[in-house]
Amino acid sequence: MSATDFDIPTLRARRTNKWHKFAPDVLPAWVADMDFGVAPAIAAAMRRLTDNQEYGYAARDGVLAGAFSRRMASRFGWQTDPAHAIGLGDLVQATFSSVMAFSEPGDGILLQLPSYPPFMGAIADTGRRLIPNAMRDDGQRWVLELPATVDPRLRMLIFCHPQNPTGRCYSRAELEQVAAFAIRHDLVVVSDEIHADIIYPGGGHIPLASLSSEIAARTITITSATKSFNIPALRCAVMHFGAPALLQRFLAKMPTRLLGSPSVTGVDATVAAWDDGQAWFEEIMAQLLANRDWLARTIAAELPGVSFRVPEATYLAWLDCRGLELPCSAGQFFLDKARVGLNFGETFGPDYAGFARLNFASPPKVLAEVVGRMVDAVRTR
Ligand SMILES: Cc1ncc(COP(=O)(O)O)c(C=O)c1O
């Protein structure tokens, strides 16, 4: 079976949240994992663990940080010091812990909206204040518009690059503006670059911290192999601090033992992905590109009232359904009437009930069924 050829019963047999959050008659196209397989190198790494019954406390010192540094250099030409990287379970934990280490309750944190929902959780659940920064649809793509004035207690920026859910892959000029803004306002930046591998032709990912030592000194880059290599259940992420002083400030507030450590399955799978998974990933990217372009054509032709800015990155489509003039949120409409489970737009910010996020990382037949149901629901409403 090829890496992208799975049928619905096989996918539903996976005990994943994606396939079991909704009722059994709902086709899911929401949470960001892929209805594909994994790279042979990852499968081999998992087999080695089970064959050896290798479940004792792990000896992997420096292994994940080394793989991270090799990957950043080979993929993005970014030189990083493995001594400045920490492994942990997941990126959401990295965001929460950074917020707690680098700000105080009541401080302001800037975040572009629409936003991946846990970023808002990292601000609200820790008693910080969300300073919303709405992106603007300029008719071609979603653009950044940084505020001209800032809250006196603004301390941090949570930056998602490439951006979830709009699929923007920011240009060097845009990143330079972000860096200048962070430096001018003395902000610590959490730069979530988890989607950095998944960039379509015409674009290229530039790590924010690679721009200059000045921005690096205030940037925590967080990433993992989980999105591009389809292993989110294995719980493994990396936080990289762009200067030793930033790492020291973090450690002074956040004992690393409190963060725990990534699982041995996560570390081995991540190292296998980053060191030996690229050929598999290229195959997946070809499928994602074909899916993205098919989706753009089909929505334009078959779903009047729905539009989206074709993503430059990610396998997520941020559908603007406001033209349908629905009596309820777009996510609710497609759930009730199409039996398709999208991410509801209102979870990405209060102004986005007219939007829904569709994950198109599925075998073409599954994606066609998802979109076909949506088309029928709109036609027969
Ligand atoms: C931007 C972004 N950050 C973080 C995550 C989640 O990462 P983790 O499972 O490692 O917390 C996601 C998952 O969709 C994401 O899109």
31 CA closest ligand 1 atom index: 14
148's tokens: 């001209």
The reply to whether ligand 1 has any atom less than 6 angstroms from the CB of 160 is: yes
Residue 74's pLDDT is: 98
Overall average pLDDT of the 35-51 stretch: 98
pLDDT for residue 352? 98
What digits encode the pLDDT tens for the residues 326-362? 999 999 999 999 999 999 999 999 999 999 999 999 9
Q: What does the pLDDT average to over 65-74?
A: 98
- The type of residue at 94 is A
Give the helix, strand, coil percentages of the chain, each rounded to 5. 45, 15, 40
Give me the CATH topology for the region 8-31+278-379: Aspartate Aminotransferase, domain 1 (3.90.1150)
Counting atoms of ligand 1 from 1, which one is nearest the CA of 89?
A: 10
Longest Cα separation, the chain: 60
* Predicted local confidence at residue 4, as pLDDT: 85
CB 167 within 8 A of CB 311: yes
Structure confidence by residue, pLDDT tens digits, 262-315: 999 999 999 999 999 999 999 999 999 999 999 999 999 999 999 999 999 999
* Ligand 1 close to Cβ of residue 192 (< 6 A): yes
Tokens linked to 264: 């041995």
Tell me how far CA of residue 295 lies from CA of 158, 169, 179, 227, 300, in angstroms.
30, 19, 34, 20, 8
Pocket test for ligand 1, best of 16, 90, 91, 259 (most atoms within 8 A of CB): 91
pLDDT of residue 256: 86
CATH class of 47-276: alpha beta
> Domain limits of the chain?
8-31+278-379, 47-276
**Which H/E stretch holds residue 85?**
strand 85-88
- Cα of 18 vs centre of ligand 1, distance in Å, is 14
Please compute the mean of the pLDDT values over residues 101-125 and round it to a whole number: 98
pTM over 0.85: yes
Is residue 2 very low, low, confident or very high in pLDDT (cuts 50, 70, 90)?
confident
Q: What is the pLDDT of residue 241?
A: 98
What percent of the chain clears pLDDT 90, i.e. is strictly above it? Answer: 98
Average pLDDT for the chain: 97
pLDDT value at 1 more than 70: no
> Which pLDDT value is given to residue 223?
98
Encoding tokens for residue 313?
A: 């990155």
